[in-house]
């Protein structure tokens, strides 16, 4: 086997593995969320299908696949088909720039544990997360229903607002690590994770990504109390499933990003790097679920107020302070 | 350079004049006019980036970035104006807004 | 050293930003602690800088403005002068901040107050530590802005807001002169660094140096409230008392003196400039002292005394006695802060009563204020042995040493001023603190919750004590030559160019001058004693309360405000009206209207094209593009 | 070789997307076509060794500007081709004519020139781009930021909802502060 | 001040949910683990018998009238001795809401509610209970109660034989 074809094979295996793990994790995150929410509410949660209910995601999948695919008569057909994919695909793509372990050496070949080692990895993440808006907006618009439209508009405004504070909260990270490359950012945290230097940026980032993946307390686009199900009201079956699984992929990916940017990536003592990375990612995901079990939903003006008048100025001040600090050093 | 500069320039020219044609044709709809202006600006950016790659000078990229920043300012203002005009007259047909004729 | 200097500046700035951004959301106490803490932190840093200081040093942090050959980096310069001033400012301002905690206890917006106060300190420190003129100017303007905002702090009252605006506008006149001087200097020497400029004075003819010196003097006069730009300072009393203390003692008004001292090696080579500085200084000192003698507002007396003392410092600079000026600047900072803070205590105790004729007999009611205040009064009056005595006498001695008719006259004026100073200072003390409590204090005691004269926060009186000690024993900083061979301050600053230029006269002259000064001071005390204590007190007070004709002249500051009104504002309004009615409306507009009519006729010809439709313009644009390109192709073939 | 092929494919996609965008009657569809075109432009930028511009093209153009268009269309409910005025075929004629002339002339000019030497310069690192941007064009950055500020203020002013009529009872007219559009 | 207390409140919320997360769930795994209802639980309706083994129901229609969802229907009949009974008695449990108003209304304590709550079925027609499905061999909650023993004058007993009934008084014997 030539070196080139070996590289290709290894890459393909890596890709397949990442795909499999991400999708499985997303499915099980749904399950985990249901279980943890149940615990918060003193319930047990789904525990019937398989041991401890572990096969529940499979059952859900089968249910979604076999459901009738309803398309509203007045819907804009092509956009209606397109929207779920546009919600889910960017989320998966973001993962391609996250390094999830220390580089391996297999058959004498160096194998970095990241799908694509872009030198503008951080910006790639920002660009893809800004694309994710389309899923919400188009989904809401194409349904041709007032609830969906309102959800879509809300989602649009919310996502582009919080994009800003998210990007700004990452600027200190770039300043500290002096690189847009994810691997460099992780390498810069070999000894001390950035959360120690940048607690404020971490808080802003966490709030912003919560708003980015439209979760409580920022779930205005799908606020079921007001808008039925928001932008995906009219979706059913596997199209709905795509939206749904997209949201959970998003949680995993953003958890991975929080781990990469602030919690030291795959660095950690004793345990193997990949285990550390998944531990940190799942810890963030757990925190999301915990937050959903705890906080009430914000009002729309509070949401905008928080984004524009609190988080964005705070992030700017944080950048200034970091600049000062770096200049003094 | 992956392809000769002329080919990129021709692509940019095509994009630019498609945008211009659209601008002329869609003169009744303000939103589409703005969209066409975006197309034209994109073509200009392509020229800048191509020049930057041709001569190995980052200034072209910088101008492309400046164009983007200016465009975002222009679009935000223009769309605010669209909202304003729509609120006043319930239409976005530019031909109906001609009170300022000489 | 780099770190200490950066912290000295950044701590107050971050404190100010903290209070400005988060102050309203956090507990009041936290904001106060942060505001005071950063100033004391800056003081600690300056002490550390003092300990590790061995030679003047310039540190550069970042580039700020740089274009072609113009460069103004963010660079700080630390020498003995800026170091001693930095220590004084951070210390005095730290005390003022602590005092403010008590004084502003019941104010509704403490975060705005403390944010501005912190930024004020930051701006002043920038001014002091700047290594180049643009950065100095930044601090200069920052000081101006903060003083504007703080003087008009209680802006809901029209009077206060007007006072703030007045301070801002009057100081702008000086700032303009400074700006012109700065640009001119860059044009002449193509550098903005202060040290470089100071070494380049010999390159230019004396006339240019004189002009530069005069411009700088105008700038300094604006900021330091010297004649003729002194009118803003008495009105600046509208702000809270700690702000007045900060403006008068530590920060703003000394900026002008500092500027002149800093640029002395450049401008000192022109005797004309020096004479101008000395004359302005002496005239201001005398003018303000006369005004202070008849004022009846507690804070206005102190304000005029500040103008007067700054005049002394200017006089010292004019006489080339930089060490003496710096010395007086330092002692003045201590005792003036003390006096203002003491006055603030009195005013608080009397529920914001500022008229001294409504006070009296406070000695028994407020002993914790009286004794430190007495120390301040002794210093201000130049009572023998106090800090103010030595520093003021240093200046007078230096003026006397210059000799000649001009400086001889100035010395006489200075001496007369010293007499007046002693008089009005003790007048203030006796009227406020001595006498019987039966003088119209009654209406304050009406409030049931106050036993006698209201309560003063302990933190306010405690802060007076260190200041009183420093004021009283400040003389040890630089004892005269006949007592010790080298004063501490003289030795410390001796290596700065310009400071050691002066050779003092003999010890005998020095001692005799001291004796004269002491006599003057005691004479003033005696005058005040005979007039405002004992039997004649009631009589004098009644007389002054009624208002004599000649006192009204002094009371209104020699009608300087009216003079400005007459000289500038009336002609300006008249000229504006003339230009508006006659020139603009009839001449220019008439011509323009005629032109416009013609243009309109002409314009109607192609008007059909501009039908206001966007599409038409677009078609024209695209058509033009196509035509241009087509022409290019045609010419190619 | 591969890159060249990719470039031609991308150019074709960009052209097709743009053409469809301007001929589409439906604004939302037009914007989706344009976003496709912008994506291929972004990849072209990436191939031209300008990763920063490529990424900003996606973040700013596709992610912010086009989203803003979408937002306005959705909010003002302009997405009805049957209501909106789409151009009559006669209106395409002058556009086609003028664009045609221009394109042909431009192509003629470009082709008639001698082919420039196709050098292959090294890619500029982002650090270098940033250094150029902030050190040599600092003033331009300041100007652009000022312009953005003005645009912000202007948009805020224009977008401000007109003050509600006074006849409404007070509870109904309470609007969330600082928000132009109540959703 | 506001900010600090807000933060404190939010963290308080997180603390509470974490505490609940670690608490034992209160869920009952139903089909395997049955809940024991209280004796007076209001579930399936039954018709009881009096202590003598006779039907208590006298087909008075009061339950039918009281039923808010009209799920009770019957046909009254009369034995030769005048005692009334229901010829047929039907409760449609697919409509019943277990409100208990019928049991409240019943004067003879015939209709009663039991804790038997598991009445699921695949065929909805199985939920229509006839009299034979409803009637149980027992007295239910008030075991000793027999309506006719109290009120059955002329039907099951003659005057003066009823419980808590004083014998009739001959008014003519009351003459002074």
Q: Looking at the partner chain, which of B5, B21, B42 has a beta carbon nearest the beta carbon of D95? A: B21
Nearest chain A residue (CA) to C2? A328
Class of domain E45-153: alpha beta
Provide the number of structural domains found in chain A.
Answer: 1
- Comparing CB atoms, the residue among B10, B20, B53 nearest residue D48 is B53
Q: Helices A237-261 and A3-40: crossing angle, nearest 10°?
A: 100
pLDDT tens track for C295-339: 878 888 888 888 888 888 888 888 888 888 888 888 888 888 888
Q: How far is C134 from chain D (nearest CA, A)?
A: 18
Round to whole Å and give the CA distance between A254 and C331: 62
What pLDDT was estimated at residue A1? 55
Sketch the domain layout of chain E as residue ranges.
Answer: 45-153
Q: What is the pLDDT of residue C557?
A: 65
**The pLDDT of residue D165 is above 70:** no
Residue D167 C-alpha, separation from nearest chain C C-alpha, in angstroms? 32
Instruction: Name chain D contacts of C629, Cβ cutoff 8 Å.
Output: 101-102, 105-106, 109
pLDDT at residue E157 is higher than 50 = yes
Q: Would you call C72 helix, strand, or coil by DSSP?
A: strand
- Is C623 within 8 Å of D102 when comparing Cβ atoms? no
Structure tokens at D102: 């221009």
Domain membership of residue A247 (yes or no) is: yes
- Report d(CA C290, CA C286) in Å as an integer: 6
CA nearest D32: which of A82, C32, C458? A82
CB pairs < 8 Å spanning A and D: 90
CA–CA separation, C249 vs C92, rounded Å?
A: 8
| C-alpha separations of C121 from C114, C148, C251 in Å | 11, 14, 7
The chain C residue lying nearest A323, using CA atoms, is C62
Residue of C nearest to E5 (CA): C26
* pLDDT band for position C211 (cuts 50, 70, 90): confident
Of all residues in chain B, the one with the smallest CA distance to C619 is B24
Which tokens is C1 given?
């050293």
Task: Tell me whether residues C633 and D99 touch, CB distance under 8 A.
Answer: no
| pLDDT, tens only, A42-71 | 888 888 888 888 888 888 888 888 888 888
Coil, strand or helix at E88 = strand
User: How far does the CA of residue C229 sit from the closest CA of chain B (Å)?
Assistant: 45
Main-chain dihedrals φ then ψ at residue A115, nearest 5 degrees: -70, -50
- Interval C576-608: pLDDT, tens: 887 777 777 777 788 888 888 888 888 777 766
- Check contact D-E (3+ Cβ pairs < 8 Å): no
Mean pLDDT computed over B21-25:
83
HEC string for chain D: CHHHHHHHHHHHHHHHHHHHHHHCCCHHHHHHHHHHHHHHHHHHHHHCCCHHHHHHHHHHHHHHHHHHHHHHHHHHCCCCCCCCCCCCHHHHHHHHHHHHHHHHHHHHHHHHCCCCCCCCCCCCCHHHHHHHHHHHCHHHHHHHHHHHHHHHHHHHHHHCCCCCCCCCCHHHHCCCCCCCCCC
Q: How confident is the model at residue A186, as a pLDDT?
A: 86
Question: Has the ipTM of the complex gone over 0.85?
Answer: no
What pLDDT score does C506 carry? Answer: 63
* pLDDT tens profile C231-257: 788 787 777 888 888 887 777 888 888
User: Given an 8 Å threshold on Cβ–Cβ distance, is A76 in contact with D28?
Assistant: yes
Chains touching E by CB (3 or more pairs below 8 Å): A, C
Backbone angles phi, psi at E76, to 5 degrees: -85, 155
| Contact: B62, D7; criterion CB under 8 Å | no
Answer whether residue C349 shows pLDDT above 90.
Answer: no
B60/E28 Cα distance (integer angstroms) = 70
Domain housing A152: 71-328
Encoded tokens for C105: 């206890």
Assess contact for A291 and A216: CB atoms under 8 A. Answer: yes
- The answer, yes or no, to whether residue E68 has pLDDT greater than 90, is yes
C279–chain A nearest CA distance, Å: 45
Q: Does D159 touch chain B (CB under 8 A)?
A: yes
**Interchain proximity D106–C629, CB inside 8 Å:** yes
Residue in C556, C558, C536 with CA at minimum distance from that of residue C547: C556
Q: Delineate the domains of chain B, giving CATH numbers in brackets.
A: 5-93 (1.10.287.3510)
Q: Give the model's pLDDT for residue D85.
A: 64
Residue D73 has pLDDT above 90, yes or no: no
Q: How many CA atoms lie within 13 A of A294 on its CB side?
A: 19
Digit-coded pLDDT (tens) for E106-131: 888 889 888 888 888 899 898 899 88
CA nearest to B28 within chain D: D85
More confident residue, C363 or A147: A147
Report the SS3 class of residue A106.
Answer: strand
Q: Do A41 and E20 touch (CB under 8 A)?
A: yes
User: Highest-confidence range of D174-183, E110-119, E159-168, by mean pLDDT?
Assistant: E110-119
* Nearest chain D alpha carbon to A78: D29
Nearest 5°: the CA angle C367, C372, C376 is 135
**Nearest chain E residue (CA) to C30:** E1
Residues in CB range of E65: below 8 A, 6 or more apart? E105
Structural domain includes residue A101: yes
Mean pLDDT of C398-421: 83
Compute the radius of gyration of chain C from its Cα atoms. Answer: 29
| Inter-chain touch B70–D94, beta carbons under 8 Å | no
Taking the C-alpha atoms of residue A311 and residue A202, their distance in angstroms, rounded to an integer, is: 11
Assigned domain for A192 exists: yes
Residue C439: is its pLDDT beyond 50? no
Task: Evaluate whether A218 touches A210 at the Cβ level (below 8 Å).
Answer: yes
Whether residue A181 lies inside any domain: the answer is: yes
Chains within contact range of chain C (3+ C-beta pairs < 8 Å): A, B, D, E
Q: Average model confidence (pLDDT) for chain C?
A: 79
Residue D71 has pLDDT above 60, yes or no: yes
Check: CB of residue E72 under 8 Å from CB of residue E63: yes
Quick: pLDDT tens for D51-65. 888 888 888 888 888
D137 → chain B, closest CA residue:
B62
What integer pLDDT is reported at residue C482 of this predicted model? 63
Q: Are C78 and C53 in contact (CB under 8 A)?
A: yes
Residues of chain A numbered 248-307 and touching chain E (CB < 8 Å): 290-291, 293-295
Cβ atoms C327, C257 nearer than 8 A = no
Closest CA to C471 of C395, C378, C346, C394: C378
Domain boundaries, chain C: 273-442+470-558, 562-600+613-636
Q: How far is CA D110 from the centre of its chain?
A: 26
CB A126 within 8 A of CB D54: no
Q: Is C596 on the interface with D (CB under 8 A)?
A: no
Q: What is the DSSP letter of A297?
A: P
Longest dimension (CA), chain B: 51
Beta-carbon separation of D22 and B18 below 8 A: yes
Q: Which chains pack against D, by 3+ Cβ pairs within 8 A?
A: A, B, C
pLDDT confidence tier of residue C194, bands split at 50, 70 and 90: confident
Q: Which residues pair with A106 in a beta bridge?
A: A109
A149: Cβ contacts below 8 Å, ≥ 6 apart: A140, A141, A143, D74
pLDDT band for position E69 (cuts 50, 70, 90): very high
pLDDT given at position A180: 84
Residue A261 lies in a domain: yes
- In angstroms, the Cα distances linking A294 to A41, A300, C56, E26 are 10, 19, 60, 19
Q: Are chains B and E in touch, 3+ Cβ pairs below 8 Å?
A: no
The CA–CA distances, whole Å, from B17 to C617, C620, D19, D94 equal 17, 15, 11, 13
**Interchain contact C615–B (C-beta under 8 A):** yes
Best mutation site among C622, C627, C631, C637 for testing chain D: the one with the most D CBs within 10 Å?
C622
pLDDT digits (tens, 9 = 90+) for B51-71: 888 887 888 888 888 898 888
Q: Is E79 left (phi over 0), alpha (psi -120 to 50) or beta?
A: beta
pLDDT at residue E71 tops 60? yes
Q: Examine the pLDDT at A234 and tell me if it is beyond 70.
A: yes
Q: How far is E6 from chain C (nearest CA, A)?
A: 10
Hunting for tokens 């781009």 — which residue is that? D129
Top pLDDT among D82 and A114 is at: A114
């Amino acid at each position: 086997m030539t070196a080139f074809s070996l590289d290709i094979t290894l890459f393909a295996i890596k890709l397949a593995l990442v795909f499999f793990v991400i999708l499985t994790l997303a499915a099980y995150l749904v399950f985990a969320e249901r279980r943890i929410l149940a615990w918060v509410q003193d319930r047990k949660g789904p525990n019937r299908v398989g041991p401890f209910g572990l096969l529940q995601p499979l059952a859900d999948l089968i249910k979604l696949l076999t459901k009738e695919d309803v398309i509203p008569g007045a819907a804009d057909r092509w956009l209606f088909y397109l929207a779920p994919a546009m919600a889910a695909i960017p989320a998966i793509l973001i993962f391609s720039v996250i390094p999830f372990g220390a580089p391996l050496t297999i058959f004498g070949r160096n194998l970095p544990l990241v799908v694509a080692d872009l030198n503008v990895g951080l910006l790639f993440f920002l660009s893809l997360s800004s694309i994710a808006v389309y899923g919400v907006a188009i989904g809401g618009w194409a349904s041709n229903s007032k609830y969906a439209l309102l959800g879509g508009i809300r989602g649009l405004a919310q996502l582009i607002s919080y994009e800003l504070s998210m990007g700004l909260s990452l600027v200190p990270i770039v300043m500290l690590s002096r690189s847009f490359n994810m691997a460099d950012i992780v390498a810069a945290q070999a000894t001390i994770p950035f959360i120690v230097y940048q607690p404020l940026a971490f808080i802003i980032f966490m709030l912003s990504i919560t708003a980015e993946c439209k979760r409580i307390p920022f779930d205005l686009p799908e606020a079921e109390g007001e808008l039925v199900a928001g932008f995906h009201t009219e979706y059913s079956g596997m199209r709905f499933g795509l939206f749904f699984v997209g949201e959970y992929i998003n949680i995993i990916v953003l958890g991975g990003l929080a781990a990469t940017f602030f919690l030291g990536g795959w660095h950690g003592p004793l345990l193997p790097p990949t285990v550390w990375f998944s531990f940190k990612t799942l810890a963030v995901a757990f925190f999301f679920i915990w937050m959903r079990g705890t906080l009430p939903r914000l009002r729309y003006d509070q949401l905008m107020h928080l984004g524009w008048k609190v988080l964005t100025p705070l992030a700017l001040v944080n950048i200034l302070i970091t600049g000062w600090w770096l200049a003094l050093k | 350079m992956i392809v000769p500069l002329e080919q990129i320039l021709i692509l940019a020219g095509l994009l630019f004049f498609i945008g211009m044609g659209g601008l002329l044709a869609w003169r009744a709809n303000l939103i589409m006019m703005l969209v066409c202006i975006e197309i034209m600006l994109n073509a200009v950016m392509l020229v800048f980036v191509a020049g930057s790659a041709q001569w190995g000078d980052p200034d072209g990229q910088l101008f492309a970035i400046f164009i983007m920043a200016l465009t975002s300012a222009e679009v935000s203002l223009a769309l605010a104006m669209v909202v304003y005009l729509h609120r006043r007259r319930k239409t976005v047909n530019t031909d109906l807004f001609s009170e300022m004729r000489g | 050293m780099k770190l200490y200097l950066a912290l000295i500046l950044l701590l107050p700035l971050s404190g100010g930003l903290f209070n400005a951004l988060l102050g309203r959301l956090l507990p009041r106490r936290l904001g106060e602690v942060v505001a005071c803490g950063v100033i004391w932190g800056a003081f600690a840093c300056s002490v550390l800088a003092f300990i590790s200081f061995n030679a003047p040093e310039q540190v550069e942090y970042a580039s700020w403005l740089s274009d072609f050959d113009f460069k103004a980096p963010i660079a700080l310069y630390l020498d003995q002068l800026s170091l001693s001033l930095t220590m004084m400012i951070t210390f005095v301002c730290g005390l003022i901040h602590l005092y403010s905690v008590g004084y502003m206890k019941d104010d509704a917006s403490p975060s705005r107050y403390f944010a501005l106060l912190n930024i004020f300190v930051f701006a002043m420190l920038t001014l002091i530590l700047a290594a180049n003129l643009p950065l100095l100017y930044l601090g200069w303007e920052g000081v101006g802005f903060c003083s504007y905002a703080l003087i008009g702090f209680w802006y809901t009252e029209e009077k206060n807001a007007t006072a703030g605006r007045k301070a801002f506008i009057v100081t702008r006149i000086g700032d303009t002169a400074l700006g012109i001087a700065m640009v001119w200097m860059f044009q002449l020497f193509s550098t903005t660094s202060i040290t470089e400029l100071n070494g380049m004075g010999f390159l230019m003819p004396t006339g240019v140096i004189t002009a530069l010196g005069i411009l700088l003097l105008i700038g300094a006069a604006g900021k330091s409230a010297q004649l003729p730009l002194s009118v803003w300072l008495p009105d600046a009393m509208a702000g809270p008392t700690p702000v007045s203390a900060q403006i008068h003692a530590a920060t703003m008004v000394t900026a002008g003196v500092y500027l002149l001292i800093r640029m002395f090696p450049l401008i000192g080579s022109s005797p004309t400039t020096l004479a101008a500085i000395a004359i302005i200084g002496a005239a201001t000192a005398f003018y303000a002292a006369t005004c202070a003698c008849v004022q009846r507002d507690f804070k206005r007396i102190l304000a005029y005394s500040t103008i007067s003392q700054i005049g002394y410092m200017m006089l010292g600079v004019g006489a080339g006695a930089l060490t003496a000026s710096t010395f007086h600047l330092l002692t003045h900072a201590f005792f003036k802060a003390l006096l203002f803070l003491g006055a603030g205590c009195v005013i608080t105790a009397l529920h914001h009563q500022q008229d001294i004729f409504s006070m009296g007999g406070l000695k028994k009611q407020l002993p914790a204020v009286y004794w430190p205040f007495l120390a301040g009064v002794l210093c201000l009056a130049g009572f023998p042995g106090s800090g103010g005595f030595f520093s003021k006498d240093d200046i007078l001695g230096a003026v006397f040493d210059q000799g000649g008719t001009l400086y001889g006259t100035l010395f006489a004026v200075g001496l007369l001023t010293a007499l007046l100073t002693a008089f009005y200072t003790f007048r203030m003390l006796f009227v406020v603190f001595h006498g019987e409590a039966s003088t119209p204090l009654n209406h304050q005691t009406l409030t049931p919750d106050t036993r006698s004269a209201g309560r003063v926060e302990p933190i306010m009186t405690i802060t007076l004590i260190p200041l009183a000690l420093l004021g009283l024993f400040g003389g040890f900083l630089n004892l005269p030559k006949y007592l010790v061979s080298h004063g501490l301050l003289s030795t410390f600053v001796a290596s700065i160019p310009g400071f050691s230029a002066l050779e003092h006269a003999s010890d005998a002259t020095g001692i005799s001058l001291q004796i004269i000064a002491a006599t003057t001071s005691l004479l003033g005390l005696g005058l005040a004693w005979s007039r405002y204590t004992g039997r004649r007190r009631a009589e004098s007070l009644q007389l002054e309360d009624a208002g004599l004709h000649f006192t009204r002249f002094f009371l209104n500051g020699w009608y300087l405000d009216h003079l400005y009104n007459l000289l500038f504002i009336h002609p300006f309004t008249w000229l504006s009206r003339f230009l508006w009615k006659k020139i603009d409306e009839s001449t220019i507009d008439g011509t323009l209207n005629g032109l416009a009519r013609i243009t309109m006729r002409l314009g109607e010809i192609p008007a059909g094209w501009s039908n206001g439709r966007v599409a038409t313009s677009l078609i024209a644009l695209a058509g033009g593009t196509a035509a241009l390109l087509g022409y290019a192709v045609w010419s190619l073939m | 070789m591969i890159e060249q092929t990719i470039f031609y494919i991308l150019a074709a996609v960009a052209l097709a997307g743009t053409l469809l965008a301007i001929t589409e009657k439906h604004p939302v569809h037009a914007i989706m076509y344009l976003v496709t075109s912008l994506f291929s432009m972004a990849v072209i930028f990436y191939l031209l060794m300008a990763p920063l511009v490529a990424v900003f093209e996606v973040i700013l153009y596709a992610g912010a500007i086009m989203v803003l268009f979408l937002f306005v269309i959705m909010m003002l409910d302009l997405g009805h081709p049957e209501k909106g005025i789409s151009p009559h075929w006669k209106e395409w004629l002058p556009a086609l004519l003028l664009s045609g002339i221009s394109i042909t002339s431009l192509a003629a000019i470009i082709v008639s020139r001698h082919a420039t030497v196709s050098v292959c310069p090294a890619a500029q690192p982002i650090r270098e781009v940033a250094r150029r941007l902030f050190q040599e064009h600092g003033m331009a950055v300041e100007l652009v930021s000022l312009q953005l500020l003005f645009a912000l203020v202007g948009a805020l002013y224009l977008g401000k909802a007109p003050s509600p009529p006074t006849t409404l009872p007070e509870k109904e007219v309470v609007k969330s502060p600082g928000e132009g559009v109540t959703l | 001040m506001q900010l600090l207390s807000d933060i404190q409140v939010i963290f308080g919320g997180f603390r509470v949910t974490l505490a609940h997360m670690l608490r034992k769930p209160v869920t009952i795994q139903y089909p395997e683990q049955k809940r024991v209802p209280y004796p007076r639980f209001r579930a399936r309706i039954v018709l009881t018998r009096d202590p003598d083994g006779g039907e208590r129901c006298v087909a008075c229609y009061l339950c039918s009238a009281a039923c808010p969802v009209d799920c009770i229907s019957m046909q009254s009949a009369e034995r030769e001795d005048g005692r009334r009974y229901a010829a047929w008695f039907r409760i449609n449990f697919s409509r019943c809401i277990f409100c208990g108003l019928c049991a409240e209304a019943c004067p003879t304590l015939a209709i009663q509610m039991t804790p038997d709550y598991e009445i699921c079925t695949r065929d909805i027609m199985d939920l229509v209970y006839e009299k034979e499905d409803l009637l149980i061999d027992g007295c239910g909650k008030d075991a000793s109660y027999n309506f006719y023993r109290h009120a059955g004058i002329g039907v099951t007993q003659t005057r003066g034989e009823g419980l808590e009934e004083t014998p009739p008084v001959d008014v003519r014997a009351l003459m002074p």
